Structure 1
C-alpha cells in the first residue's frame, strides 16, 4: 500500500478510535499529537532498515520511534530499553495510537519497539535487509515475542 493510502486509512481509523475507549484513558489533550505520530510513522513505510539508523535514509526500530516522536515535538530516549523505561506500562488491550509496543527476540530482555497505530496494527523497522512495515499486533509471530505496551504521552 502506498504512503498516501496508509495516511488516508490512518485518518479514518483515528476518527473511529476517537469514539472508543479502553480501561486506561489517555489525556484527550494529546489526541492531536497522537494523530501526528501515526501519520508521521505511516509516512516512513518503505524506508530501509539500517542498524543504528535515525533518519529517513535508514532506521533501526528505536531510531524510527525517536525520529517520529521528534517530528511532533516529543523527545524520547535513543535505545529500546531507555524508551521502555520512559513511559508507564499499560495492557495491550488499552493501547491507543502512538503508544509503544516492546518485544524480546533474543530472550535477554527488550530488543525491539514498534509504534501502535490502533486497530491491532503497528509500524515496525524490523531487521536488516527489510524496510519499515505495518504488521498486525495479534499475528502469532509478534504475539510470541511481545513483552509490554508503554504509554509515553500522558
Structure 2
C-alpha cells in the first residue's frame, strides 16, 4: 500500500535588494514597507551611507510583499506614500522636522536634547537616509546649489550671522519661511524676508 504524499511548504527565502545609484536607506525602506532603523539593524549597518551594488536583506514582511508586486517601482512608492497621507518626500521631511519645534538650542548639539543649527539639519535628514556633515558651510557644499527663486520645500537655506562665510543653516518650508535652530529660541519657524534674516541670506541648495 502506498503512503500518502505529504508536501511540505518550504520557508520563503528572505528577499534582497541591490542598491542602485541614487538609492538611500529611506527610499529603499519606503519602497519595501519598512523603516530605516529596521534595515540598519537587519544588515548590521553602522552608517546610512550606501554604495551602488550593495545587497541588503529585507525583513520577512517586505519579502512576502515582494512576491505580489505588479506595479512599477515608481507607482508602488507613490502608492506607499499616499497610503500614509504623505504627498512626497519633502513633505515627509518637513513633517518630521516640525516635530522638534520648541526643542532648545545647544552649541554642538545634534540630538533632541538640544540642537545647534547644522546639528538639527543633520539629525532631520539622517532619519531619511541622508548623511550630512555637522557644519553649515559643509552642508552648503553637500548639495546642488540653486537660486533663491528656485527654492522648493525641503531645500536647505544658508545665512551668515557674523564673521566670514556661511555659518547658519535651515530647512525651507515654503512661503519664504524656514525652520531652524535659533541660538536664542531653539527650533522655530522664521521668515527669510524679515529684518534680521533677509540681509543675512547667503544661498540655498537641493539635497532631496
TM-score, normalised to structure 1, is 0.75
Q: What are the superposed Cα offsets for residues 58-93 of structure 1, whole Å, 9 maximum, x if unpaired? A: 000000000000112222122111101001211111
5 Å-filtered alignment, 1:2-151, equals 32-127=88-183, 129-151=184-206
Point out which structure has higher relative CO (alpha carbons under 8 A, 6+ apart). Answer: 1
User: 1:40 Cα shift?
Assistant: 1.1
- Cα RMSD of the aligned pairs, angstroms, is 1.7
User: 1:107 Cα shift?
Assistant: 3.4
Q: What are the superposed Cα offsets for residues 133-152 of structure 1, whole Å, 9 maximum, x if unpaired? A: 10011112111100001111
Extract structure 1 runs of 4+ deviating beyond 4 A.
none
CA distance in 1, matches of 2:107, 2:89: 27
Tell me which structure has the larger Cα radius of gyration: 2
Greater share of residues in helix: 1
Does the residue aligned with 1:62 lie in a helix, a strand or coil? helix
CA distance in 1, matches of 2:111, 2:130: 16
Aligned length: 124
CA distance in 1, matches of 2:123, 2:88: 17
CA distance in 1, matches of 2:197, 2:189: 12
TM-score, normalised to structure 2, is 0.57
